Structure 1
Amino acid sequence: MFDHNLNLSEKKILVIDDFAEFRFAVRKMLEQMKGKHIDMAANGERAVELMQSTRYDIVLSDYNLGEAKDGQQILEEGRVKGFVGHSTIFVLVTAENTTDMVYGALEYSPDAYLTKPFTRDFLSQRLSKLLAKKRFLQPAERALDARKYQQADKETDALLAKKSKYGVDVLRIKAMALMGLKNYAKAGQVYSLIASQKKMPWAILGLGRAKFHQGQYQEAADTFRSLIQANAAFVEAYDWLAKCLVELRQPSDALATLKSAIERSPKAILRQQQAARLALSLDETEFAEKCARMAVRLGRYSVFQDKEDYTLHAKLLLEKGKRADANTQAKRSWNEALGVLKEAREKYRDRFPDFLVRIAALEGVLQAKVSASNPAEAMKKLRKVIDQMPDTMPLRPMCDTTRELVAGGEEEFGLVLAGGILSKKPDDDALIEELKAIFEGSGFEEHFEQVVSEEKVKFNQDNRSGMMCYEKGQYQEASAYFEKALKELPSNVAINLNYAQCLIAWMEKGGGKDNKARAKQCLAEIAKHVEDNGARKERFDNLDQRLQALE
């Protein structure tokens, strides 16, 4: 029966569906409920744009929105970024009822789940009930959305005193507020109280989580196991049980648990990511590759996208190709890996320089294998990529990739990467020792020592000659050395600082007036890479002021 008392005139509403006919049909229903502020989106990307700029009271989203971001991922992103809070009514709508879809959708707890087709009367009844509950819970939910957990806890006390039919919902908010306050013992007591009154799966899950955060891993694991036995469809319990088993040093059991969860609900990206890494640590490379592949696919439209999923998948495909019986199978895996890395490079082109270097290293190895040719050209290309990167890029991930290359029998590419790392900090003894340890026992120890020597020579020879001439006041000769050094390492901060200092000092002495533009170029290059603090920044600021004084 249609609820004639339902008035949506003050509510901001968003309807998301890729079929225009359905969007307008739902809009008409909402207008009959006095809805005025109704926006519509035909895809997930547009929906997220709208939700980031407008705080909606009600969101009605279709689950399947085509090839891109789906309704589950919209809800997922909204929860993480905060534009779908506890006070928002989020309703998932779909004509599908597959197990994967239902489990996946329910994992992020929409307020309601509607199956197409539905009538105006049915929608009005569901919204009326949801709005009534939201009105009552509003003070506590708004505080929770604002992460004002102390206030949310107090609001729940006031609401409990009213002894309404929403008592369990109020207790749930209280428990969430206490978890936010990291008062896990008290939160556990609240969840335990709810579970004793009503066997709510989410309350038992909350109790287990509270025990986990108190370090009671065995008790938490037992709680999650009992929940799974009673309700095998509550997939989030599997994830938490796996976390407990990892802490209890039972990784094989943890992976088996994740496999069971993936069978029931494969669309949870965090689960696929966790399973891929855990499987790899247990040398279950085939399963790890399947999970990494799924993580990359899901990540294309997920807020939980991780760039490391790409490199992990590519490395697993590289190893898969090495294990292949036939050359055609090997090349198929390697070409697929190159495709994965190409997508990653295009996606992260202007970010994470160290990541782009690691991609280039893997691409070099793969290209050499696919073409079965001399890898020299691929190595030359890799070194060029490294030389173009800023001196300030993180070197730790590159050291890890060097270690992986050497362990995987790709020592020559490891040497190229090691040389590139040292070109950024050729005088860092701790870094040299770390890289040296990577090559111990590889049969390439002498080759590494040669790389170290070459990098020190490259950096020191022209740079030192330039500094020696500079200290003697031989600015023109010094400039020639610095120019030569920069041809090898154009982005090197130390060389650019020395060259700029030389040119500015020369101009301050009344000579080299034509070098002002070149000094500006050096400072501009330094500005791209120098850290926000430290001695180099102080030196840069001093040189910049001195150059401005010459204007």
Structure 2
Amino acid sequence: MPEFSDLSVLIVDPSPGMRGNLHNMLNGSAITKIDYALGSGTAIRQLAKKSYDIILCEYDLDGGGENGQDGQQLLEDLRHHRLIAADTIFIMLTSEGTDTKVIGAAELTPTDYVLKPFTVDALMGRIGRAVDRRNTLQPVHRCIAEGNLREALRLCVVGPDRKPRYATDFARLQAETHGALDEWREAEGVYHTVLAVRPTTGWAQLGVTRCQFALGRYDDARLMLERLIALYPRFMSAYDLLARTMQALGQDIQAKKVLEDAVAISPHMVRRLRHLGELAFATDDVGVAERAFRAVVGKARYSEFRSPEDHVNLVRTLVRKGDGAGAGGVIRDMERSLRGSAEVETCRALSAALVLDLAGSETAAMAELTRAAAAAADAPNLSSALRIGLVNACLQHRLDTQASELVLDMMNDGVRGITAEQAVDVFEKAGRHDLAVSVGQRATQQVEEALSDTAAKLGQGEHRAAVMAITAAVRRAPRNVPVLLTAVQAILRQLDELGWEAPLAEQAAQLMVRLRKLDPSNGALEHLAQQYGATQRKYGIAAAA
């Protein structure tokens, strides 16, 4: 049994009695580092400041009512916003044994979920097994967190010899790490190795389909996913990937039906509901879109990460329906319930413009769009999808300057930006070839400036600054061969001069893989590979690392 005394635990439960019972159970097993959160908001704020080894979370954080956020939504937020590490032990506590609550909890893959009532021996047995598994896999997780993916792969290969009990866990991490490296054929091979021993392993079957999807083999992925869902009708992640696959095949209506089936089984996943709303809107199924977006707004109301973009989606749907009064009500709710910020102002003004357009008030709509574009410049957390929607709205009202500035800002956004090709495509799809040419010329100018700036910094020995400059250009022009070559050269210069850094070396390796796909006959590739190997040897790095 693992040692428990050093473990830290966060109990998330609104019930004082249950918190007390859990505290006593943990104390009886030498766990004394215990903190409490009464609900999701408190838990998120604590986790933003401090990490825990274990989280024990009640599913019904509002006592089973309709208000507040449940444990499933909390876990979804924690995973999506990376507030907990991959090896954090998250155990869901629920008294529900058969309905959609357990399905929802299970599909987010907590470490475990425990049905009430439970004994101290049952709880500590679950915790003990979870801690032993975490300790075994922790070196791999640490390498992944540090960006040293090659070392993570090596540990996955040798791990089963030392801990055969966790062979399948090592295999799963190995395949996922290959996927993170864009090595989908290698990942697929690992999944098939697992299936050769255990043919009905659901996660490995899903893994194969993810590889097929990444490799563009959409028909193969669709057939295998349909078989997987027939075998495991409540394997919710398979529904999500099947919907994405059908979209890739141009089958949006079928994709929408898949998500409707998934929501009927597990109705609480906010991101799935949002995806369903987007697909329904795209296929002009206004009724389904409205229900989905209303559910998103309602379920996200108590989340610490609530987004005003959900209100925009609902407003856009109601406007298409012709319900201006309903859309106005959604805007007023946004104004009342969300804190004032540039993101909220952008969404409010865009929503108002949509309603004004419906009413035929073009001049007032243009004024709101101008406000939205100005606010968007100070709203870094807005999604690219919303920004592009704002660009299109500006173009429809001949606000060319605002549209062009928005697109240029997106090109220069290192986190949520778009590539130069995507920027040009936005204007081409809007029928504005003149603006597409203009933004293409600006993109070319930015690339030339980045190449010149990188060369100057390298000449001055400013290696880190040079790498920062050229990697920013890579984000804007990810298929530009001269930019990719310069990026690899700059990274290798820094590694050679300043020392080996595994994440940076991995970045160089991935850029070389991209170069080989784009320009396999480029003569510089062999020299770069030799330089990479020489730098490895210089710092005593194993050739396989």
Measure the CA separation in 2 of the matches of 1:53 and 1:196. 44
- Cα distance, 1:312 vs. partner? 2.1
Q: 1:38 to 1:206 in 2, by over 3 A?
A: same
Q: 1:153 to 1:349 in 2, by over 3 A?
A: same
Measure the CA separation in 2 of the matches of 1:54 and 1:384. 41
SS in 2 for 1:129: helix
Q: 1:276 to 1:340 in 2, by over 3 A?
A: same
Q: Deviations over 1:418-457 (max 9, x none)?
A: 59959999xxxxxxxx89x899xxxxxxxxxxxxxxxxxx
Measure the CA separation in 1 of the matches of 2:265 and 2:404. 50
CA contact (8 A) 1:107 1:236 kept: yes
In the alignment, what sits opposite 2:340? 349
In the alignment, what sits opposite 2:235? 234
Structure 1 segments of 4 or more deviating over 6 A? Answer: 422-425
Measure the CA separation in 2 of the matches of 1:389 and 1:179. 37
In the alignment, what sits opposite 1:337? 327
Letter in 1 for 2:54: I
Q: Deviations over 1:357-387 (max 9, x none)?
A: 2122135457x6xxxxxx77x9659737846
SS in 1 for 2:11: strand
CA contact (8 A) 1:7 1:33 kept: no
Gaps spanning 5+ residues in structure 2: where? 379-386, 407-426, 433-545
Measure the CA separation in 1 of the matches of 2:196 and 2:290. 42
- Cα distance, 1:39 vs. partner? 0.5
Letter in 2 for 1:24: G
Measure the CA separation in 1 of the matches of 2:331 and 2:81. 28
Measure the CA separation in 1 of the matches of 2:60 and 2:22. 16
In the alignment, what sits opposite 2:206? 205
- Cα distance, 1:191 vs. partner? 1.0
1:362 aligns with 2:354: yes
Q: 1:187 to 1:197 in 2, by over 3 A?
A: same
SS in 2 for 1:165: helix
- Cα distance, 1:246 vs. partner? 1.2
Letter in 2 for 1:244: T
In the alignment, what sits opposite 1:282? 283
CA contact (8 A) 1:78 1:85 kept: no
In the alignment, what sits opposite 2:219? 218
SS in 1 for 2:85: coil
Measure the CA separation in 2 of the matches of 1:24 and 1:247. 51
Match of 1:383 among 336, 342, 367: 367
Letter in 2 for 1:21: G
Q: What are the within-5 Å matches in structure 2 for residues 432-451 of structure 1?
A: none
CA contact (8 A) 2:136 2:163 kept: no
CA contact (8 A) 1:357 1:382 kept: no
In the alignment, what sits opposite 2:73? 73
Q: Which moved more, 1:149-158 or 1:169-178?
A: 149-158
- Cα distance, 1:97 vs. partner? 3.6
In the alignment, what sits opposite 2:114? 114
Measure the CA separation in 2 of the matches of 1:343 and 1:253. 33
CA contact (8 A) 1:208 1:224 kept: yes
CA contact (8 A) 2:331 2:351 kept: yes
Task: Give the TM-score of the pair, scaled to structure 2.
Answer: 0.66
Match of 1:64 among 47, 60, 65: 60
Measure the CA separation in 2 of the matches of 1:99 and 1:35. 32
Gaps spanning 5+ residues in structure 1: where? 323-332, 369-374, 407-413, 426-433, 440-551
Measure the CA separation in 2 of the matches of 1:49 and 1:211. 39
CA contact (8 A) 1:349 1:356 kept: no
SS in 1 for 2:93: strand
CA contact (8 A) 2:178 2:186 kept: yes
Measure the CA separation in 2 of the matches of 1:93 and 1:27. 14
Measure the CA separation in 1 of the matches of 2:50 and 2:139. 20
CA contact (8 A) 2:356 2:364 kept: no
CA contact (8 A) 1:94 1:116 kept: yes
Q: 1:204 to 1:301 in 2, by over 3 A?
A: farther
Measure the CA separation in 1 of the matches of 2:403 and 2:192. 57
CA contact (8 A) 1:87 1:142 kept: no
In the alignment, what sits opposite 1:193? 193
Q: 1:110 to 1:146 in 2, by over 3 A?
A: farther
In the alignment, what sits opposite 1:514? none
Q: What are the within-5 Å matches in structure 2 for residues 135-154 of structure 1?
A: 135-154=135-154
Q: 1:379 to 1:23 in 2, by over 3 A?
A: farther
Q: 1:23 to 1:181 in 2, by over 3 A?
A: same
- Cα distance, 1:15 vs. partner? 0.5
Q: 1:348 to 1:148 in 2, by over 3 A?
A: farther
SS in 1 for 2:342: coil
Q: Select the structure with the greater relative contact order (CA < 8 A; seq sep ≥ 6).
A: 2
- Cα distance, 1:98 vs. partner? 5.4
Measure the CA separation in 1 of the matches of 2:309 and 2:168. 41
CA contact (8 A) 1:86 1:144 kept: no
> What count of residue pairs does the alignment treat as equivalent?
397
- Cα distance, 1:298 vs. partner? 2.8
- Cα distance, 1:100 vs. partner? 2.3
Q: RMSD of the alignment, in Å?
A: 3.2
SS in 1 for 2:57: strand
Q: Which moved more, 1:190-199 or 1:311-320?
A: 311-320
Rg bigger for which structure? 1
Letter in 2 for 1:36: T
In the alignment, what sits opposite 1:310? 311
Measure the CA separation in 1 of the matches of 2:38 and 2:376. 43
In the alignment, what sits opposite 2:180? 180
CA contact (8 A) 1:270 1:304 kept: no
Measure the CA separation in 2 of the matches of 1:138 and 1:307. 37
In the alignment, what sits opposite 2:88? 88
In the alignment, what sits opposite 1:528? none
Measure the CA separation in 2 of the matches of 1:173 and 1:18. 35
CA contact (8 A) 1:73 1:301 kept: no
Measure the CA separation in 2 of the matches of 1:129 and 1:253. 41
Q: Deviations over 1:92-121 (max 9, x none)?
A: 011234532122211210011111221111
Q: 1:187 to 1:315 in 2, by over 3 A?
A: same
Q: 1:303 to 1:109 in 2, by over 3 A?
A: farther
Letter in 2 for 1:250: Q
Letter in 1 for 2:213: F
In the alignment, what sits opposite 2:34? 38
Match of 2:47 among 41, 48, 51: 51
Q: 1:222 to 1:354 in 2, by over 3 A?
A: same
1:11 aligns with 2:7: yes
Q: 1:362 to 1:387 in 2, by over 3 A?
A: closer
In the alignment, what sits opposite 1:538? none
1:267 aligns with 2:268: yes
How many percent identity over aligned positions? 27
CA contact (8 A) 2:41 2:303 kept: no
Q: Which moved more, 1:182-191 or 1:265-274?
A: 265-274
